[in-house]
A and B are shown apart, each in its own frame.
Chain A
């Protein structure tokens, strides 16, 4: 379980996050949604301590990530898997080397076991046989899959995905969503996804937090989001014509 408490962050005079709190439970896919520029990615960076907030705390199963010894922090980091927006694959390494990288750096596992683990992860994300290709030789969707494989190679307790569907076609987006959902249930991870994709919201949102101008305005799940009466959230959700039509039909 990940708990964020009163996270506030500003850049220069601009308040990007304002007292954001929430609980992301184990075995659930938790989504942080909101329009562009509302502070979703900054919140993720605060949770990963890539950006240090001015106020607040992030607790990983009760362990405060911002205070304590460097070794404790390193141990928490080893329990994290992160899928970055563009995949963040290392350009100079093959797909196989990219996935094996955390094992090389953070474990003393024998080479044979590492290779087996990488092959398993590649198979898990449906990319068997692509290990020798370079990141520049694979598509955007495949990069995301490799990113997921790298994120799960260490059997993480906490999985973070920053806009996993950005730049992907609708079919590939659905497949990536399903894959993340399956992995969450299979490994019982605490999964936090940053997104503004409504398909993801409705299909995999076990818990949803809506951010608006740096503030948490609403929280709920994929069942309750369509019944919202929060104007800002309504505007965000029903900017999709099909959803608006569906709601109007339901009301009449």
Chain B
């Protein structure tokens, strides 16, 4: 276990040594932003809207006391969405989509000698291939968290108002009631950290793949599993630190 952590840290160090020119990274960064960020908007939007809607419906169903005002429903939807769903839950979903993609891509490149081809050209393959993915992840994950946060609250609004369990006025009042702007910042910080963990762990698993197609599949699975565990541990630590 310790040796794996050590190799992971050495791998991280390798990303920042023998770098290529800024122009090379800029073009690859834009490509990766499209592959990692833009292509994930659809799944993030779907998940966020439905999770927001379900949170709204479930909260209302469990608030049976007449003493609790109805606007508390949207208040809970807001805090749940900002503090957990838009960052942690969204990143667990992205660990599946982005993590498996990164590990699969790098694993295939490794076993088909494409990484060796880069190395013999004198290019630091780890830095050339992984650094743009890392930068794109830490840049786009917070943006996805913002979209997810907005759509989660909007999903709750749709479910609440269309089914009549809360009026639009109560919902808006609830989400504005005792609002802590720092919670938005927490969601962004979490997404940034999770983006770093998912991209680097998945890249590490893919980059050191040995064998054939079977091992590429195993690397992808391992990348998703390890990323999810890392995200959950980091979530707990960040919750302790930031709240």
Residues of A that sit less than 8 Å from B by CB: 45, 48, 50, 70, 73-74, 77-78, 80, 82, 84-86, 88-91, 101-102, 104-106
Cross-interface CB contact of B122 among A74, A85, A91, A101, cutoff 8 Å: A74
Which residues of A lie under 8 Å from residue B121 when comparing CB positions?
77-78, 101-102, 105-106
Is B117 interfacial (CB 8 A cutoff)?
A: yes
With A50-B119, A102-B121: A85-B24 Cβ-Cβ less than 8 Å: no
Contact across chains for B114 and A91 when beta carbons are under 8 A apart:
yes
Contact across chains for B120 and A85 when beta carbons are under 8 A apart:
no
Which residues of A lie under 8 Å from residue B24 when comparing CB positions?
104-105
Which residues of B lie under 8 Å from residue A106 when comparing CB positions?
121-122
Cross-interface CB contact of A84 among B20, B108, B117, B123, cutoff 8 Å: B117
Contact across chains for B114 and A88 when beta carbons are under 8 A apart:
yes
14 A-B pairs with CB atoms under 8 Å apart are A48-B120, A50-B116, A50-B119, A70-B18, A78-B121, A78-B122, A84-B116, A88-B114, A90-B114, A91-B109, A91-B114, A102-B121, A104-B24, A106-B121
Is B112 interfacial (CB 8 A cutoff)?
A: yes
Cα-based distance from A86 to B112 in the complex (angstroms): 7
Minimum CB–CB distance from A20 to chain B (whole Å) comes to 20
Contact across chains for A80 and B120 when beta carbons are under 8 A apart:
yes
Candidate in B18, B116, B120 with the most chain A CB atoms within 10 angstroms: B120
Contact across chains for A88 and B113 when beta carbons are under 8 A apart:
yes
Which residues of A lie under 8 Å from residue B109 when comparing CB positions?
90-91
B86-121, CB < 8 A from A: 108-109, 112-114, 116-117, 119-121
Cα-based distance from A142 to B21 in the complex (angstroms): 32
Contact across chains for A50 and B18 when beta carbons are under 8 A apart:
no
Closest to B128 in A: A105
Count of CB-CB pairs between chains A and B under 8 Å: 46
Other than the given A88-B114, A91-B112, A105-B123, 15 more pairs (CB < 8 A) read A45-B116, A48-B116, A48-B120, A50-B116, A50-B119, A50-B120, A77-B120, A82-B120, A85-B113, A88-B113, A88-B117, A91-B114, A101-B121, A105-B20, A105-B121
Cα-based distance from A88 to B114 in the complex (angstroms): 5
Which residues of A lie under 8 Å from residue B123 when comparing CB positions?
105
Minimum CB–CB distance from A47 to chain B (whole Å) comes to 10
Contact across chains for A82 and B20 when beta carbons are under 8 A apart:
no
Which residues of B lie under 8 Å from residue A73 when comparing CB positions?
122
Which residues of B lie under 8 Å from residue A50 when comparing CB positions?
116, 119-120
Which residues of A lie under 8 Å from residue B113 when comparing CB positions?
84-86, 88
Cα-based distance from A142 to B203 in the complex (angstroms): 30
Closest 4 CB pairs of A and B: A77-B122, A88-B113, A88-B117, A74-B122
Cα-based distance from A181 to B119 in the complex (angstroms): 25
Cα-based distance from A118 to B87 in the complex (angstroms): 46
Cα-based distance from A105 to B114 in the complex (angstroms): 15
Closest to A147 in B: B117
Minimum CB–CB distance from A26 to chain B (whole Å) comes to 20
Which residues of B lie under 8 Å from residue A86 when comparing CB positions?
112-113
Contact across chains for B122 and A88 when beta carbons are under 8 A apart:
no
Closest to B31 in A: A92
Cα-based distance from A117 to B178 in the complex (angstroms): 66
Which residues of B lie under 8 Å from residue A82 when comparing CB positions?
117, 120
Cα-based distance from A80 to B20 in the complex (angstroms): 19
Cα-based distance from A80 to B121 in the complex (angstroms): 8
Cα-based distance from A217 to B217 in the complex (angstroms): 40
Cα-based distance from A82 to B123 in the complex (angstroms): 14
Contact across chains for B18 and A88 when beta carbons are under 8 A apart:
no
Cα-based distance from A7 to B224 in the complex (angstroms): 40
